[in-house]
Structure formats: C-alpha cells, structure tokens
Structure 1
Amino acid sequence: MRRYVLTGTPGAGKTSLLHRLGELGHAVVEEAATEVIARAQAQGEDEPWTRVSFIDEIVALQRQWQQEASGAAALQVFDRSPVCTLALATYLGRPVSRTLGAELERITSEEIYQRQVLFIRNLGFCEPTSARRISYQESLVFEKVHEETYRELGYQLIDIPADAMPHRLATVLSVIAPPMS
C-alpha cells in the first residue's frame, strides 16, 4: 500500500488538490485538524486549538481515518499526517504528548506513509476562514516549521511550487501515479 501525504502551509491549496485527486478516482483522506475544529465550532466553541486536548484529538482522528482507509485502495493520498500534527504542536509551543509520540512511533515502525512527501508551497497569500485564523506572515513561519519537522524525521520533500492547478496536479500525479513505460 502506498500512502502519500500532502503538506504545506495553511491556504496553500492542499485541499483543492486532494479534491481534484478524488475526482480523478484516487482514494483520498481529508485533513483531521479542520474536522476537529469544525466539530467544536458547531458546538459553539470558537477557538478549540486553545484546548490542551486539541493535538491529541487530531492525532486520534488521523489514526482512525488512516485505519478506516487501510483496505480501501492500494494508493491513497492524505491531507496532512501526524508529522504535520507534530509541526502544529511545535508551532503552538506545545509539548509532544504521549499520544502524539506513540502515533509518530507507530507510523514510523509500521511504515504507514511514503517517505516522499508532497510539499505544497504557499500561493503568496493566506485567506482566513473560521478554522484558519493565521496571517500570511504567520503561515510562512508555519510552512518553515513543517519543512524542518519532516526533514528532521527523514522524509524527502517533493516540492510542488505555486502554479496553476493543472500544473500542480500534473506534478503530484507524476509522483504518485507515474505513467507506465
């Protein structure tokens, strides 16, 4: 099974790329952090990321979705991974919880994700949403934290530069599903 991760700064276009891949018939898994935030905000909690349990909730949902997708297809694409959650914890100044540490150990020992990670570069702006309240300047810092975190853990970043969607999609497809020769 090949599981690829799309990562990068908020607002870089990861979810748009993921949806296009899904439309093309690829098995895709949405971003867990956005779902955790949406669920909490639907219950009236404005800033769930301030909760101590926030990081662990993301990890639990990532693990659940990864395990549910296990037999779905031989090729899967994930919008973020627990390595991204480590980057988020680092960015927020949070310690690595036991839950996050255990999940990072599991994905490494079980080789859950491909070592090649699709690093979606920022588009030169960052549109705020109810779940994304980060300035463009902050997003650049967050992008750097993601890059450093993946590299420190031995992942190879495949750069997907800012470009029109068809070009970015073609670059992603050339990595995950290269044409047969």
Structure 2
Amino acid sequence: MKTKRIVITGGPGSGKTALINYLEKEGYAVMHEISRDVTLEAQRQGIEQLFLENPILFSQKLLEGRLRQFHEGKNCAAPILFYDRGMPDVTAYMDYVDSHYPKNFADTCIAHSYDEIFVLPPWEEIYEQDNERYESFEQAEKIFQFLKNGYQRYGYQIHEVPVGSIQDRAQFIIATIKEMTT
C-alpha cells in the first residue's frame, strides 16, 4: 500500500502546528515544520530574521529540508503521512514578498507531488506573534491567499479546513481523505 502524503498548510498562526501535534498524538505519522529551526539556527549565527535579510538563502534551506522530508517519507509504512507545510509553501512565500527565485525551486515542487492539500484559513482569535512569527494578522491573511494560489498553480485541488476545535479540524481532514479514497 502506498502512503498518502497529506500537506497541512496555511498562513502563520492558523493552528497548523497544534493540528499536526494532535494528529501525531492520535497515532498518525507526521513530518514537522522546519522553518523555526532554520530561523533559530540563523539567529544563533547573528542573523535576526534570515527570511527578511536573505530570502533566497532562507528559502533554499527550507526547500532542501522539505525535500529531505519528502524523501524520508518514502520509508513511511503508515497509510497516511501528514506534512506541516510542503515544498510549494516556499515559492508561495517568495511570491508573497515579490522576490524572484531560481527556476529549480518550481522544478522541485513539480517533480515531487503530494496527494492532498489542506489549508487552514486565518483565525484572528488564535493568532499570536512571537520571536519567529513577525507577520501581522493582516499579512497572515495575504499569505493565506498566496498559499492557496501557489498550490493551485502546481495543479493541486485545495481543501479549506473550517475554523473550529482541533478535534473538529482533524475529523474534517480524516473524513475528506476517506471520501477521496472510496
């Protein structure tokens, strides 16, 4: 049986990580977000916001890390593998900041495809800024649109996850996946 690769994405502060953590506690296989790791590593090297200071380098590191996760997913024996963000997030963010990026970014996204994409909309009630999340809520709303457009540009059908409890969101995703496979 082939593992279904499922991306959960959305703008900053939309509840992705909490949802991924919940799914993991429920026994699902997951690949965690790596952008905070990239940001924290740059901060240890004295670069406060690598994405703002060198968006190409930051994005290259993210793309490489997400590609590594994609390849690691080939070893997953579980029927479903959830990713906290996918490779097309990289180009969507670059489009958001209106920055040119190398052709290989898009080529990588095209060559490595996921099975389903779930996007979480902005949710002001749970949105919080912190040291690694510097975007305002209004910026998070714009990023959400760029993410949807970015995935659609690569030919994906987007499933928008309704705002609600973590359990309700997880149930929506699992039910949608089951519908797609029956």
Aligned CA RMSD, in angstroms, stands at 1.9
TM-score normalised by L of structure 1: 0.88
Residues 56, 97 of structure 1: 8 Å contact kept: no
Per-residue deviation, 1:62: 0.5
1:138 aligns with 2:139: yes
143-152 or 68-77, which deviates more: 68-77
What percentage of residue pairs aligned between the two structures are identical? 22
Matched residue type, 2:62: I
1:102 aligns with 2:107: yes
Matched residue type, 2:35: A
Q: Unmatched 5+ residue regions in structure 1?
A: none
Q: Unmatched 5+ residue regions in structure 2?
A: none
Deviation by residue 1:127-177 (Cα, 9 ceiling, x = unmatched): 112111000011111111111112222211111111122211211221235
Residues 129, 136 of structure 2: 8 Å contact kept: yes
Partner of 1:5: 7
Alignment of 1:12-51 (within 5 A): 12-49=14-51, 50-51=53-54
Q: In 2 relative to 1, CA 176–39 (structure 1 residues): closer, same or farther, beyond 3 Å?
A: farther
Partner of 2:177: 176
SS of equivalent to 1:5:
strand
Alignment of 1:82-161 (within 5 A): 82-107=87-112, 112-114=113-115, 116-125=116-125, 126-161=127-162
1:98 and 1:39 map into 2 onto residues whose CA distance is: 26
TM-score normalised by L of structure 2: 0.88
- In terms of fraction of residues, the more helix-rich structure is 2
1:28 and 1:177 map into 2 onto residues whose CA distance is: 18
> How many aligned positions are there?
175
Partner of 1:58: 62
The structure 1 segments of at least 4 consecutive aligned residues displaced by more than 6 Å after TM superposition are none
SS of equivalent to 1:141:
helix
Residues 118, 157 of structure 1: 8 Å contact kept: yes
